[in-house]
Structure 1
Amino acid sequence: MELRQLRSDEFEISTKLSEYAFQYTLTPEQRESSLKHFKPERFWGIFDGEELQAKLTIIPLQVYMQGKILDMGGIAGVATWPENRRQGHVSTLLKHALQEMKNNGQTLSFLHPFSIPFYRKFGWELFAEYKKYVIPAAKFPRKAEMPGRIVRGVDDIPTLDGIYQAYVSRYHGTLVRDEGWWKRFVLQGDGHSVVYYSAEGKPTGYALYELKDKELVCDEFVYLNEEARTALWTFFANHDSRIEQVNMVMVPMDDQLPFMLPDPRITQEIIPYFMARIVDLKSFVEQYAFEAQAHHAAELTVEVEDPAAPWNAGLWKLSVNEEGRAKLLELPSDYEGPVDLSTDIQSLSALFMGYKRPQALHAIHRLTGNPAAAAQLESMIPAGQTYLLDFF
């Protein structure tokens, strides 16, 4: 068996495996587009001679984290022919991908799991979920006149991306979109767009939506203030002669719309979505912005388990200074001092992404050790909200 990157002439064998594994068939137009965007250097496969046995893709992406931009490796297209399963191919590929991402400075990795338990074995953990609303027309927010103006059919990417960046940069894990991503993955298809401009002419909100079968399906609802939110909802409500309900998907978990409705008894659903994992613990932690420590540095000794990425495993001394900057020092194997906390890379990934809090993890024994140390870590980790609108 040989583990290597795909070659430029191996598009067809890669596509055939994907079509079989994920049960779809590309149209001629889709196949042409996929070939145009095929980047073989992002694909890693296990080969028996010239026969592709299993593969995955590492997509170089960037995400917002604490208002900063970090490099992230997106894992996608993990596939194996059925006759080659349970031979360790995917395990080999995932562990190799972790090493590749570490070498490339990608301190985080995201993936959309076919099986959450499966990817937990390799260190990924849930970090993002979203809400879905189904709002009948009779329960729409009240209409209101706003001083700005609504413009349909805006497909100017700089305008949309400017609103998007201002909105999503306050979350942890949202994707940095370039022009190609907008064109290929966001604005494709027959959907509609609408932008709200303030009285001063500044774009402060947009929505991407479809109309079908007496329903308005909103895929993205992005706003910078309540004026924009109200204006966009008034625009939706003005469709009440042709729709019976609005179906909102990809709503962030901190959204307050139901509370603001005249009648909040609407259908709400929470969907577990993407998984994340820290690829390089030392590099990630030393980029992380902790809460400033008053008067003196804070120190904790933490034992970390990570079988898939052994460079993260072991005993670490975490030191955070008065400015909230951290140092992570690996302790020698013969260290005999106290260990404050023990955990695994999955729990640390959920914790540092802002998906779970230290004391909550301690309560369910995902973070074990001294309760006082868990409380101290709680005070060191700033609150944050995770969110991801995209899919790959």
Structure 2
Amino acid sequence: MEFRQISAAERTATMFPLQTYAFSPSPWSPADEEAYRGRMRFFETTVNLIAEESGQTLAGVAALRMRENVRGLVHDMAGVASVSTHPSARRRGLVRELMQRLLRQMREEGCAVSALYPFRPSFYAKFGFVGIPRHRIATFAPEGLAHLVRAELPGEVERLPMSEAFEDYDEVIQHQLARRHGFAVFDEVRAAELRDMKSWVAVARSGGEVVGAVRYVIEAHGGDLVAQDLHCTGPLGRALLLQFFARHVDQVARVSVRLSTDDVPELWGVDFEVTVEGRVDNPTDNAPMVRVLDMEALSGSQAGPGEVTVEIAGDELIGGVWQLSSSGGVLGVEKGGTPSATLSAAGFSALLYGVLDPVEVFTRGLGEFSPEAIPTLTEMFPRQMPYLFADF
């Protein structure tokens, strides 16, 4: 068995058959393969690892180079994707070996955190990943926002194809990255594929500044307007985009839009009827998972006051004893000390990302704490639901 890194040009011959069989309708056609080959220029910075035996590719994994905001600090992030194995080679530990190699390499190359969308969460939990919230989808009739059509808002919305709206759209994305906990974006090479997407973009502006943007398609006359994430710099941007949706009354029956867990569409209007769904289902609709790859890189993150020493046990990448302290709202991380808490990598990642408090970490079997450590860790890492926008 040989494990090696391959270039983007090699993905079509090696990883494409595995990925397509695992995640797409099959058998695939020569046109499917050619279309995949044409996309490889957007994967030039992706790290691809495969396992080969007698010249046949049996398994592959990849890491997309990304950036993510974690408690106010933007880190290089490894977006794990393309994890697939030939049916005859499954249950042989090939993906386990590739994942360990991939995470180790990405940490060495400067990635402090990692994220993925799992086919089965329990499998990735073995690698130190922990679940975070999945996006919600709000579905409503456009006439429910009729009050916004009459509102005089200080701004306007322009409808553009993605090829023309890319810079404006990216401006809003970068604004979100700097301000939203959990928000993640692709590097410039991978993000460039978005220009070719067949979709509209509604760009909201006020005073010459971009204050919101949303990507969408209309499926049919009298059908659905299907929007992706509603990106806004503030309430005005959201109001302008919702007003734009409202103007599609008598053209579409429903509007659906993706939202983070802290959005409350039931408050968008009076007598406003809306369905908000967050579906989680194996293996196609799982919530994302995250983990920390580098403890010392977390210095400078936002944190509540306190000081505590924790031991992270059983993890190759972040294992050891770490002294965590916060002064003036800024986290410091140093090696050494006498621990008052023992955590798994997933347990600490859950605290950092704000999805579990210390008691929940304990009840999930992800850590053990002395009584005095619980209130300190609760104050240092208050609950704060991350919004992982990037869907890869």
Which residue does the alignment assign to 1:334? Answer: none
Call closer, same or farther: CA 1:319–1:164 in 2, change over 3 Å.
closer
How far apart, in 2, do the equivalents of 1:275 and 1:93 lie? 18
Instruction: State the TM-score, normalizing by the size of structure 2.
Output: 0.86
Cα contact 2:182–2:353 (8 A) shared by 1? yes
Which residue does the alignment assign to 1:73? Answer: 78
Which residue does the alignment assign to 1:202? Answer: 209
Q: How does 1:3-42 map to 2 (within 5 A)?
A: 3-6=3-6, 8-9=9-10, 11-24=12-25, 25=28, 27=32, 29-39=34-44, 42=47
Which residue does the alignment assign to 2:130? Answer: 125
- 1:244, distance to aligned residue in structure 2 (A): 1.3
How far apart, in 1, do the equivalents of 2:203 and 2:45 lie? 38
Call closer, same or farther: CA 1:117–1:217 in 2, change over 3 Å.
same
- 1:111, distance to aligned residue in structure 2 (A): 1.0
CA deviation vs aligned residue, 1:42-101 (integer Å, no higher than 9, x gap): 211112132212111122221123333211111111111111111111111111112111
Call closer, same or farther: CA 1:72–1:182 in 2, change over 3 Å.
closer
How far apart, in 1, do the equivalents of 2:146 and 2:277 lie? 19
Tell me the secondary structure at the aligned position of residue 90 of structure 1: helix
How far apart, in 1, do the equivalents of 2:11 and 2:191 lie? 27
Tell me the secondary structure at the aligned position of residue 27 of structure 1: helix
- 1:28, distance to aligned residue in structure 2 (A): 5.5
Q: How does 1:96-245 map to 2 (within 5 A)?
A: 96-140=101-145, 142-143=147-148, 144-153=151-160, 155-184=164-193, 186-198=194-206, 200-213=207-220, 214-245=223-254
How far apart, in 2, do the equivalents of 1:373 and 1:264 lie? 45
Call closer, same or farther: CA 1:32–1:362 in 2, change over 3 Å.
closer
Aligned residues: 375
Cα contact 1:157–1:182 (8 A) shared by 2? no
Bigger Cα displacement from structure 2, 174-183 vs 208-217: 174-183
Cα contact 1:141–1:261 (8 A) shared by 2? no
Bigger Cα displacement from structure 2, 349-358 vs 311-320: 311-320
Cα contact 2:16–2:33 (8 A) shared by 1? no
Instruction: State the TM-score, normalizing by the size of structure 1.
Output: 0.86
Tell me the secondary structure at the aligned position of residue 129 of structure 1: coil
How far apart, in 2, do the equivalents of 1:318 and 1:384 lie? 19
Which residue does the alignment assign to 1:268? Answer: 276
How far apart, in 2, do the equivalents of 1:180 and 1:5 lie? 19
Call closer, same or farther: CA 1:177–1:23 in 2, change over 3 Å.
closer
Tell me the secondary structure at the aligned position of residue 16 of structure 2: helix
Call closer, same or farther: CA 1:127–1:268 in 2, change over 3 Å.
same
Bigger Cα displacement from structure 2, 117-126 vs 254-263: 254-263
- 1:110, distance to aligned residue in structure 2 (A): 0.9
Bigger Cα displacement from structure 2, 5-14 vs 157-166: 5-14
Tell me the secondary structure at the aligned position of residue 318 of structure 1: strand
Unaligned regions of 5+ residues in structure 2, if any? 280-285
Which residue does the alignment assign to 2:345? Answer: 345
2:295 is equivalent to residue 302 of structure 1: no
